[in-house]
């Protein structure tokens, strides 16, 4: 089959292990991938998993003015390709509804992609339906190729419906990792959406540790400090815990709200530790040293929300008891058998759930074992990777291109 051109927003990214896990898995199944990133990496650390990717990685002009010669050459070559006029007309229709510099950037990035991509690429595949999806769509039109996308969370819930509908209609299919996302997208363009949970590659995670004999209960959370993760609610809930409980809190992750979270947590003293952004080994260490995993996600004013954060499954692989909110699609995995769910933004309910688990080691053990069983039984990475592999193989065959 032909080569697949993969478009991502940034590569590599510590917060997107699910992308690295998928792409490495697809290569191991035999797919020939070329990776194109809209942004250069900003994280100081890199997951070992991302280093296993064999695909050639190219970076499109992140800001057009920084590479004017490359942009001009790409546009000039794209003008001679068979689908340029149709792609330009589509861009103008999109720009009239969304007259932003970002829209123009995506079109010219697509021109560079269409001009520079290997002629053997017969299909473009974007992770996230919003900006990477725009680049993939325009480039596919210019090249006369097909395209598809994997939609996740923010891109589903913050992209205008007209844009999602038109993109879905133009692509071969759209995969998504949550039931709510699949239902929403299918309502916009029936028959285009495929539900493909990321799952967890159990071969990358060790057997869970023994937690016998631990006195201080360690609450762990992993995630970017952004509004939808609800760390302001989680820290407020920690401050509400009864004074006689023996606990500590460890957070792994960076983000723009770091200073605000440090200030909010200051009155809790040494019980709270912020370790900053970390690679997979750092995350694993925190999870194995922990007893409870907490995530206080919520829906923000612009509609942004979590899908099903992979870190919940990673925590479950280490038999951690889970406390989370019902925001996004968290309930696809966390239920009464595997953890405690509370309403988003309900700090008192979150504090009560944490207090209950801190005081009850038997409950922690029961919930943790159930969560570990569920992730291994119901969210196998290999089976879902194979679904995506088959979808891409169908698109990559020259006989199936439009």
Handedness of CA 388, 394, 398, 402 (dihedral sign): negative
Q: What is the pLDDT of residue 290?
A: 97
Band of pLDDT at residue 84, cut at 50, 70 and 90:
very high
Handedness of CA 328, 332, 338, 341 (dihedral sign): positive
pLDDT tens digit sequence for 53-67: 999 999 999 999 999
Band of pLDDT at residue 1, cut at 50, 70 and 90:
low
Q: What is the pLDDT of residue 396?
A: 58
What are residue 9's phi and psi, to 5 degrees? -75, -40
Q: Which residues pair with 123 in a beta bridge?
A: 4, 146
Please provide the average confidence, as pLDDT, over all residues in the chain. 93
Q: How far is CA 235 from CA 232, 269, 274, 294, 395, in A?
A: 5, 12, 12, 11, 47
Q: What is the pLDDT of residue 399?
A: 36
Band of pLDDT at residue 199, cut at 50, 70 and 90:
confident
Q: What is the mean pLDDT of residues 58-84?
A: 96
Ranges of beta strands (E only) in 223-291 are 247-252, 272-274
Q: What is the mean pLDDT of residues 325-336?
A: 92
Q: What is the mean pLDDT of residues 173-188?
A: 95
Q: What is the pLDDT of residue 48?
A: 84
Whether 402 has a pLDDT exceeding 80, the answer reads no
pLDDT tens digit sequence for 33-55: 999 999 998 877 887 888 899 99
> Which structure tokens are listed for 100?
């932003």
* Rounded distance between C-alpha atoms, residue 33 and residue 125, angstroms: 10
> Which structure tokens are listed for 256?
């723009």
Whether 2 has a pLDDT exceeding 80, the answer reads no
Whether 16 has a pLDDT exceeding 90, the answer reads no
**Residues above pLDDT 70, as percent of the chain:** 98
Residues 148 and 387: beta-carbon distance below 8 Å? no
* Rounded distance between C-alpha atoms, residue 249 and residue 263, angstroms: 15
Nearest alpha carbon to residue 123 among 149, 97, 85: 149
* Rounded distance between C-alpha atoms, residue 68 and residue 108, angstroms: 11
Asked which of 64-68, 163-167, 169-173, 302-306 is least confident by mean pLDDT, the reply is 302-306
Q: What is the pLDDT of residue 113?
A: 98
Peptide bond into 12 cis (omega under 30): yes
Reduced to 3 DSSP states, what percent helix, strand and coil does the chain have, rounded to the nearest 5?
A: 50, 15, 35
Q: Who's near 87: CB < 8 A, 6+ residues apart?
A: 78, 107, 110, 138, 139, 141, 142
Whether 74 has a pLDDT exceeding 60, the answer reads yes
Domains in the chain (CATH in brackets) are 3-199+380-400 (3.40.50.2000), 202-378 (3.40.50.2000)
Q: What is the mean pLDDT of residues 169-179?
A: 96
Band of pLDDT at residue 400, cut at 50, 70 and 90:
very low
pLDDT tens digit sequence for 213-232: 788 999 999 999 999 999 99
Q: What is the pLDDT of residue 213?
A: 79
Band of pLDDT at residue 169, cut at 50, 70 and 90:
very high
Whether 25 has a pLDDT exceeding 50, the answer reads yes
Q: What is the mean pLDDT of residues 89-115?
A: 97
């Amino acid at each position: 089959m032909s080569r697949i051109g993969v478009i991502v927003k940034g590569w590599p990214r510590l917060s997107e292990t699910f992308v690295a896990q998928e792409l490495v898995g697809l290569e191991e199944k035999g797919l020939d991938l070329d990776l194109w990133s809209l942004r250069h990496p900003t994280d100081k650390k890199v997951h070992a998993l991302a280093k296993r990717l064999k695909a050639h990685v190219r970076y499109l002009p992140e800001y057009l003015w920084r590479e004017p010669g490359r942009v001009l050459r790409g546009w000039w070559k794209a003008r001679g390709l068979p689908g340029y006029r149709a792609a330009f007309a589509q861009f103008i229709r999109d720009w009239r509804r969304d007259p932003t510099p970002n829209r123009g950037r995506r079109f010219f990035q697509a021109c560079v992609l269409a001009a520079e991509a290997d002629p053997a690429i017969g299909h473009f595949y974007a992770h996230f339906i919003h900006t990477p999806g725009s680049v993939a769509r325009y480039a596919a039109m210019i090249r006369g190729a097909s395209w598809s996308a994997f939609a996740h969370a923010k891109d589903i819930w913050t992209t205008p419906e007209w844009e999602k509908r038109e993109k879905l209609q133009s692509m071969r299919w759209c995969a998504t990792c949550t039931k709510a996302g699949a239902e929403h997208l299918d309502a916009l363009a029936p028959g285009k959406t495929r539900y493909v949970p990321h799952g967890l590659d159990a071969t990358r995670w060790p057997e869970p540790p023994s937690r016998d004999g631990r006195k201080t209960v360690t609450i762990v959370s992993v995630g970017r400090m952004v509004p939808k993760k609800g760390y302001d609610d989680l820290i407020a809930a920690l401050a509400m815990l009864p004074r006689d409980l023996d606990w500590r809190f460890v957070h792994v992750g960076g983000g723009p709200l770091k200073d605000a979270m440090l200030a909010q947590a200051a009155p809790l003293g040494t019980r709270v530790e912020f370790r900053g952004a970390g690679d997979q080994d750092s995350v694993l260490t925190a999870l194995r040293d922990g007893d409870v995993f907490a995530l206080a996600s919520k829906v923000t004013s612009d509609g942004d929300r979590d899908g099903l954060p992979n870190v919940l499954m990673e925590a479950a692989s280490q038999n951690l008891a889970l406390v989370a909110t019902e925001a996004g699609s968290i309930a696809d995995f966390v239920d009464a058998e595997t953890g405690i769910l509370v309403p988003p933004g309900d700090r008192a309910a979150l504090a009560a759930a944490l207090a209950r688990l801190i005081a009850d080691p038997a409950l922690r053990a029961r919930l943790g074992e159930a969560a570990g069983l569920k992730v291994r039984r119901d969210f196998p990475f290999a089976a879902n990777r194979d679904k995506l592999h088959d979808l891409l193989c169908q698109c990559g065959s020259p006989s199936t291109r439009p």
